[in-house]
Structure 1
Amino acid sequence: MKPVRFTRHAQEQCMERGAETSEVLAAIEHSAREPAKHGRILCRANFPFNSTWQGKHYRNKQVAPVIAEESEEIVVITVYTFYF
């Protein structure tokens, strides 16, 4: 896999939305890719969570980074998380 670089926005969104860097990297490396806006790529991966997020208990967490694949690196543009 190419080197992965996180934009400042992506780093902020990871912290704000509860995504770990390791989860983002796993989603990029192991999940199916879907087309996203502006020629970007969306990756999705589900992880066991079994914890509380914002006062509510969830069993699973989905981490969905939006990336731009460039010739020399993969750039993480933003990261979404979904709890269920």
Structure 2
Amino acid sequence: MKPIRLSRHAQEQCLERGATATEVIQAIREGGREPAKNDRMLCRFNCPFNGLWQGKHYAIKQVAPVIKEEHNEIVVITVYTFFF
């Protein structure tokens, strides 16, 4: 598999939205994929969470990076997280 590089924006969004680089890579390698805007892909992966996020308890965290597959690497454009 191609190497995965997180853009600066994606790294900032990980911090802001409670995701780790390890979770992002796992979402890309193991998660489902769906088309996104501008010839990009959205990957989704549910991780057990069982913790607090912004004062509420959640059992699952979904990590959803948006990627652009280049010739020699996969670039992570941004990262979304969903808690439920």
Pair in the same fold by TM > 0.5: yes
- Given the two structures, how large is their TM-score scaled by the length of structure 1? 0.98
Aligned length, in residue pairs: 84
- Cα deviation for residue 24 of structure 1 reads 0.4
Q: Looking at secondary structure, tell me which structure has more strand per residue.
A: 2
- Given the two structures, how large is their TM-score scaled by the length of structure 2? 0.98
**RMSD (Å), alpha carbons:** 0.5
Which residue in 2 is equivalent to 1:3? 3
Question: Residue type of the partner of 2:23?
Answer: E
Structure 2: runs of 5 or more not aligned:
none
Q: Indicate the SS of the match to 1:19.
A: coil
2:46 is aligned with 1:71: no
Which residue in 2 is equivalent to 1:44? 44
| CA distance in structure 2 between the aligned counterparts of 1:64 and 1:73, rounded to whole angstroms | 18
Q: Indicate the SS of the match to 1:47.
A: strand
Structure 1: runs of 5 or more not aligned:
none
| CA distance in structure 2 between the aligned counterparts of 1:73 and 1:48, rounded to whole angstroms | 28
Identity %: 69
